[in-house]
Amino acid sequence: MKTPLIAPSLLSADFGNLERDIRMLNQSNCDWFHLDVMDGVFVPNISFGFPVMQAMARVAEKPLDVHLMIVQPEKYIAKVKELGARIMNVHQEATVHLHRLLVQIRKEGMLAGVTLNPSTPICMIENILEEADVVMLMSVNPGFAGQSFIEHTVEKVRQLREAIDRRNLKTLIEIDGGVCRDNARRLVDAGVDVLVAGSAVFKAANPAEEIDILKGA
């Protein structure tokens, strides 16, 4: 059975003890650090920006997966690169020239990630699948941690898996929002490679153990 990569979302960490929480994740079996950037325009919330992420990056010992919930993400390629991010994830809905943006992200040596809101169908990225290293499906409406998983995303995962396999691509499927021990197995079976988990990890009595449970789901 396939073992998923686990990307805990730092949005649910204790911001007063970020260093402690990041060191805990360094010691755990998680794979990526998922950093949620919100601008108050693309989504109805504001989280953190580059100065905070630079502080996180100094402590983090695993690849940074930067999820930009902002308009015009193309303006920030250099800043995300400077941060040392491994994955730059941009929303299909937030940019006009998606193909150009993905090509530029790859040119900077990062993995190009494209994210779809729950209401955006898979066909919107059919023509740029070759340019994406990661496709992330939102299973909640972006903006907040701790929301309930939107069920129809499982069917979208299956459709996307089929499109990727049909074209013999290596594109990773990532899922973000409401992921927990009760739906992790189903998601991996449907074809997910990377599970993002915020509240499931940080609200657990033992976050490192919860990461192992998600991995083995």
- Give bridge partners of residue 112 from the DSSP assignment: 88
Residue 156 binding target from ligand DX5, Zn ion, none, CB below 5 to 8 Å by type: none
Q: Which residue has the tokens 């083995």?
A: 216
Rounded CA-CA distance 158/170 in Å is 15
* Contact positions with Zn ion (CB under 5 A) in 21-80: 36, 67
Which of 198, 207, 215, 217 contacts ligand DX5 by CB under 6 A? 198
Residue 147 binding target from Zn ion, ligand DX5, none, CB below 5 to 8 Å by type: ligand DX5
Burial class of residue 74, CB neighbours in 10 A (0-12, 13-18, 19+):
middle
Of 4 and 143, CB closest to ligand DX5: 143
Q: Which of 36, 65, 133, 193 is flagged as catalytic?
A: 36
Q: Does the annotation mark 36 as catalytic? A: yes
DSSP type of residue 70 = S
- C-alpha dihedral, 28 to 31 to 33 to 34, nearest 10°: -130
Q: Does the annotation mark 176 as catalytic? A: yes
Which of 72, 104, 147, 159 contacts ligand DX5 by CB under 6 A? 147
Q: Which of 21, 31, 176, 193 is flagged as catalytic?
A: 176
Q: Interface with ligand DX5 by CB under 6 A: which range of 56-64, 72-80, 125-133, 172-180?
A: 172-180
**4 part of the interface to ligand DX5, by CB under 6 A:** no
- By C-alpha distance, which of 118, 122, 125 is closest to 101? 125
User: How would you list the strands of the sheet with 87-91, edge to edge?
Assistant: 5-8, 194-197, 172-176, 134-138, 111-116, 87-91, 64-69, 33-38
Instruction: Give contact residues for ligand DX5 (rule: CB under 6 A).
Output: 9, 11-12, 34, 36, 67, 140, 142-147, 176-179, 196-200
Q: Which residues participate in catalysis according to the annotation?
A: 36, 176
